[in-house]
Amino acid sequence: MPSSLSVGFPLSGEWYVGADGTEPGHELALDFMRLDKHLKATTRAAWRELLTAVPYEEHHGWGQPILSPFHGRVVTAVDGCPEFPQSYLMKLWGLVRASWWPSRERRRLASLIASGAGDIREFAGNHLVIESLESPGIYAFLAHARRGSLSVKAGDLVRGLQPVAEVGDSGQSNVPHLHFQLMSCPNPLAQQLIPFTFSVYEAHVDGRWLIQKNSLPRRRQRIRSVAQPFI
């Protein structure tokens, strides 16, 4: 198994890197959200985002296509998890409440991991696991998809960069976004993550868009997709 491999960027258009795989508890996994030049996720004023539940349709990233990062076979396809728009203040309150009982949350997660086949919908929401056809044993995990947006099912073959779902806010999510990681087994709970790079994308550096090849973006970086050589 390769120590690192290059895959297609699983989104189109411009995105903001919310997590770059270096944070504790988020190793080798990335989060992408769509923000405007003021780093706002919606079309509403900042105080409305903070205090009111902005409809999902007014979020910049809502419903954007999620793409398969390679030619593959769908192993897992979970849909139907509900989504409830909330103010950022309420979402922050939920995180604070969860932090009051960290040991309980760790025990719950440890129990799911030990089971080897636990229900991760509470965490991942609507999600996909896709195995690479070119590198068998490599699995992509794409989480927090919009309810009802999955266009594939378990057993389907997909092409690289084929739309397979849409960006949503299901599971443990503070804003519509995509969580992406590669694994050496099909169970995200096994935590057998592997390093990877994206074959090509553009990064906004010092006011310019620069092509990046076989690389990974950094946290708080603006990036965007470019044409990728899948056929």
User: CA-CA distance, 13 to 161, in Å (whole number)?
Assistant: 13
Residue 84 amino acid letter: F
Closest to 13 (Cα-Cα) out of 31, 30, 41, 35: 35
User: CA-CA distance, 62 to 64, in Å (whole number)?
Assistant: 6
C-alpha dist (Å) from residue 85 to 53, 58, 142, 150, 167:
5, 11, 21, 20, 14
Residue 98 has pLDDT above 80, yes or no: no
* Cβ-Cβ contacts under 8 Å for 70 (sequence gap 6 or more): 7, 8, 130, 132, 133, 134, 135, 140, 160, 230
pLDDT at 196: 95
pLDDT at 101: 53
Most confident of 13-27, 59-73, 214-228: 59-73
Task: Give all domains of the chain, ordered by start, each with its CATH number.
Answer: 5-44+59-84+120-224 (2.70.70.10)
- pTM of the complete model: 0.87
Q: Name the more confident of 96 and 60.
A: 60
- Mean pLDDT estimate for the chain: 87
User: CA-CA distance, 31 to 19, in Å (whole number)?
Assistant: 5
pLDDT at 2: 44
Lowest mean pLDDT among 135-139, 142-146, 166-170, 226-230: 226-230
